[in-house]
Amino acid sequence: MSNTVTLPQSIINRLEKISASSRLTPQSIISKAISDRLDYEEWALEQIDEGIADIKAGRVLSDEEFWKQIEMPRHDRKKAA
């Protein structure tokens, strides 16, 4: 599948500079950048879904419980969990 994307000249200039200084083609740089961003976006959406599931299941802390855990020394937090 081949698509066309219009990029600002400033990004094209940066892309050409990096490509000229490396063994990477502009296409491979763009493909990797898009893939990395999609990986991040998918991860972020999974984290949001997990958080919503925790809320729906009642796995939440009150303000008081939260602050108690924050104030607790690190080694004590592991014991409490």
User: For residue 16, what are the contacts with CB-CB under 8 A and spacing of at least 6?
Assistant: 26
pLDDT above 60 for 3: yes
- H helices of the chain, where? 9-21, 26-56, 63-71, 74-80
> What single-letter amino acid sits at 51?
G
Claim: this prediction has a pTM higher than 0.85 = no
Over residues 43-57, the pLDDT tens digits come to 999 999 999 999 999
